[in-house]
Amino acid sequence: MEQWAEIRRLHRSEGVPIKEIARRLGVARNTVRAALASDTAPKYSRPAKGSVVDAFEPQIRALLREYPTMPATVIAERIGWTRSLTVLKDRVRVIRPEFRGVDPADRVIYEPGGCSQWDLWFPDYRIPVGHNQFAMLPVLVMTLAFSRYRSAVMIPSRQGGDILTGMWLLLSQLGAVTRKLVWDREAAIGPKGTPTALAAGFVGTLGTRLELAPPRDPEYKGMVERNNRFFETSFLPGRQFASPDDFTAQFDRWLADHANTRVVRAIGDRRPCDALAEDLE
């Protein structure tokens, strides 16, 4: 699933030719062609219990603890790995985020169209959902990292289908897809540091990349986290909502009239609504 999504991202978003994709990922060219020809993610099948890598995991962790950026090929030499390198690389890819620090530059330098940060905001307000029932519902928030432009929609739950439907809606309204989508380890997106089958199929279809934050590092996507606090104190107080649609409608108007029209020093004393055009290009 991840390989299928990465092949489509490299070709669609980065314009990498088939031959180069095959070389980078270590797969046959026909495998690349098949992934590009298929608009449907490969069917998920439950992996067999246990792996030949399990016995080597303590050694892998010891090496990554001391050398977080050590390539998987070097790790293979150090632990005496003699089997398929692909299996080892897959395990290293899962473990590495636990030891690799976050590059501070990644948090402060953004290219137009390069990145969007996503999060769930849980307003402390019970929304009427019909038949005299009330519920505290999540709000899916998207922030474009370059322009600081925000958009959001209230969704029924934090289940994968509802989150991805909300993402599709916000991206459709935007009319474009950033080169990577940054999430924390939300249970329906990537709780163990790798995308769920549903999330991998979604980003593969769009030809983009899903980047998951390292564990216990809220500042990795601090931009959208700070926005949530801003919404809590500046949008929510004193408002009343008749339904989830009413909440989204009021939030949209407030974002358009206030949040996205405030001058932001980090983008050259411009307003997000003005910098959006550069993002979209």
Percentage of the chain lying above the pLDDT 90 cut: 52
Report the pLDDT value the prediction gives residue 7, as an integer from 0 to 100. Answer: 87
| Segment 1-29 mean pLDDT | 84
Task: Give the relative orientation of helices 2-12 and 29-37 as an angle to the nearest 10 degrees.
Answer: 80
Report the pLDDT value the prediction gives residue 95, as an integer from 0 to 100. Answer: 86
**Contact status, residue 77 vs residue 244, Cβ threshold 8 Å:** no
**In the structure, what pLDDT confidence band is assigned to residue 104 with cuts at 50, 70 and 90?**
very low
- Pairing mode, strands 115-121 and 139-144: antiparallel
The full DSSP string for 202-222 is HHHHHT-EEEEPPTT-GGGGH
Domain ranges of the chain: 1-42, 53-100, 105-280
Fold of the domain spanning 105-280:
Nucleotidyltransferase; domain 5 (3.30.420)
pTM of the model: 0.67
Write the pLDDT tens digit of every residue in 121-175. 999 899 999 888 999 999 999 999 999 999 999 999 999 999 999 999 999 999 9
Write the pLDDT tens digit of every residue in 229-269. 889 889 998 899 999 999 999 999 999 999 999 998 888 88
Report the pLDDT value the prediction gives residue 51, as an integer from 0 to 100. Answer: 78
